[in-house]
Amino acid sequence: MLETLNKYFEDGLLYKQTHPTLPLTIWNYTEKVQYEDLWDEITIQTRGLVTDDKGNIVARSFKKFFNLEEKKHTATPDFDVFDKMDGSLGILFNYEGEWIMATRGSFTSDQAVKGFELLQKYDYKRLPKGFTYLFEIIYPENRIVVNYKFEDLILLSVIDNNDGYEIKIFDDSIHIEGIRLRNLYTNLGFKLVKKYDGIKDYNTLKSMIKDDEEGFVVRFSNGERVKIKGTEYLRLHKIMTNVSTTGIWEILSTGGKFEEILKDVPDEFFNKIQDYSKTLKYQFHSISEYCGKLHDGFRYGKYNDVDPEPTKKEFAEFVMKNVKPEFRPIMFRMWDKQSYEPIIWKLIRPEFKKL
């Protein structure tokens, strides 16, 4: 397991962070996986997976789940519907007697620290060990879009670390060694994520989302999940993440990495970013190819049969007569065998517009 995870890390498919004092590593998929749609049995489960230094799994998070519109889920007739909370995922587990709160990719994030602080008002040490407790960490300073009027931990799910079995936190019949878990959560005072009963068609949920809500999560009986987000939430999130045409252009034109702009972008906008980057690359390629063909055709001939090679003066006369003014600097750079890419990027720089 550890060898595989490290290989994915080396290939740029996973991030990893080691615990500051314990032999633990938390794994999370990278933006490259999302951007290039590189989902498999490893990347889909590394959404806050924690291992020890021997590769044993000591905490499990939710497997990656997608938006309804992406159609990557397998629906079943039976399903449950829950609130989609707009906070940070908290991952609580016990390692050799020590309780640890992490977030999706970090043991030391501000959200993880705050989550553990919020945990202190509960008698959490009574929780059975060997399970991962997944919470939504809500507090004002961590506001994303939805403006909650409280700070707290909301229990979302409980997962068995041994086999990944997800315990239904609303089921009164599930127990461990005689302890009925739902009663335990209630006695400890944990708030459970809101569950909606009586929903017969999950496709109708989109129209039910209020402007001040993120949306819903649907959990099918096969264990798969799908998220359904509201139109207003997506609009506000897009504004807050500030994804723009010039932002994408700047990364492409400077040879930067898309991870710089994708870190905080929700899944809904990956396709838009991908499509726009393809548009810019096509514009760049079109100009480069057009100028390149004119340059090569005049200098070398269609079949490399120009002899002798024209002089630079003859080339300049050809360019001034046959080439648009904005492309002439590119042509002269090509003749001098100098870099012309910055000129093309400058030509196709877009006006600022949020995607």
pLDDT mean over 175-191: 79
Give the three-state DSSP class for 137.
strand
**Contacts of 263 by beta carbon, 8 Å cutoff, 6+ apart:** 31
Question: Is the pLDDT at 149 greater than 90, yes or no?
Answer: no
Confidence class for position 161, pLDDT limits 50, 70, 90: very high
Q: Between 312-322 and 270-299, two packed helices, what is the crossing angle to 10 degrees?
A: 130
Q: Rounded distance, CA 214 to CA 229, Å? A: 6
Q: Is the pTM of this model over 0.85?
A: no
Q: Rounded distance, CA 34 to CA 4, Å? A: 19
Q: Report domain extents, the chain.
A: 1-59, 65-232, 245-347
Q: Which of 23-27, 180-184, 222-226 is the most confident on average?
A: 23-27
The Cα angle at residue 41 between residues 264 and 1, in degrees rounded to 5 = 100
Which tens digit of pLDDT belongs to each residue from 7-29? 999 999 999 999 999 999 999 99
Question: Is the pLDDT at 32 greater than 90, yes or no?
Answer: no
How many helices and strands, by DSSP H and E, does the chain display? 11, 17
Class of domain 65-232: alpha beta
Q: Rounded distance, CA 157 to CA 48, Å? A: 14
Q: Are strands 131-138 and 98-102 parallel, antiparallel or unpaired?
A: unpaired
Residue 261's pLDDT is what?
Answer: 60
Which tens digit of pLDDT belongs to each residue from 56-90? 999 999 999 998 888 889 999 999 999 998 889 99
